[in-house]
Each structure stands twice: as C-alpha cells, then as structure tokens.
Amino acid sequence: MFCLSFVVVTVKARLAGMDPRLEQAAMDLYANEWQTFRRITLPLLAPGIASAALLSFSLSFDDFIVTNFNSGSTVTFPMFVWGSAQRGIPPQVNVIGAGVFLIALAIVVIGQIVGARKRKALAA
C-alpha cells in the first residue's frame, strides 16, 4: 500500500501522454473495447506499468520502518535482513543483493540494445 501512490503517479503520467485518437481509430475499425484495450492501450501503457513495478519493488526493499509496522508475524525480506544484521549478515543476503543488481543491470543493457537496434532500423 505504501508504494501504490508511486505506481498511480507513474502509470497516470503515461496514460496522460497517450493520444485518445488511437483508441477511437481502433473502434472505427470495428474493434470492441476488449480488443482495443489489449492491442492498443495495454502495449502503450506497458512501459509505465513496468517502470512503476520496478520503482515500487526497489522502494519496498529499503522501507524497513513501514514493513516493521505492517508485517505482523510475516517475515519479509527487509525484516530478514534487519534480524540477520543483529546476528551477523549471512551470505544469502549478499547473494540476493547481487542477484537483484545483476537482474537490474541485464534489464538496462537489454533495453539499450533493443533501443539501439530500433534507432538503427529507423535510420536505414
């Protein structure tokens, strides 16, 4: 719930940048509401949804105070790290941190490669 506001702001900004004429054009071509959403709206919103998911995921990692008050008896990752830091940090925390870093790095590199290929294809 803490990250919901970040998600709403990010997706709403992407939605505000959309051209409503695209949806109207799809409706003029006899697409129903579901087809218009699936083939027009969702692909245009996908970058905003993905960035909101990554933003909320990264914000939830360092949000120990909110997690501490809201977790109840559930042991979440920030609670695990906090409890482990009191006894000594186990290697699992370093492995998870390295994994998250490598996944984020892979996403950025793949995005740059795909963007470069699209720009190259458009220029040709």
The predicted-structure confidence for 28-53, as pLDDT tens digits, reads as follows: 999 999 999 999 999 999 999 999 98
Residues 119 and 58 in one domain: no
- Report the domain count for the chain: 2
Q: Supply 82's token pair.
A: 């906090």
Residues 67 and 105 in one domain: no
Q: What is the pLDDT of residue 37?
A: 92
Q: What is the pLDDT of residues 60-114, one digit of tens each?
A: 766 777 777 777 788 877 777 777 777 777 788 789 889 989 999 999 999 999 9
Q: What is the pLDDT of residue 4?
A: 86
Residues 27 and 64 in one domain: yes
- Cα→Cα distances 1→7, 8, 60, 82, Å: 10, 11, 10, 21
66 or 118, which is more confident: 118
Identify the domain containing residue 12 by its residue range.
Answer: 1-74
Among 42, 54, 49, 59, which Cα is nearest to 12's? 49
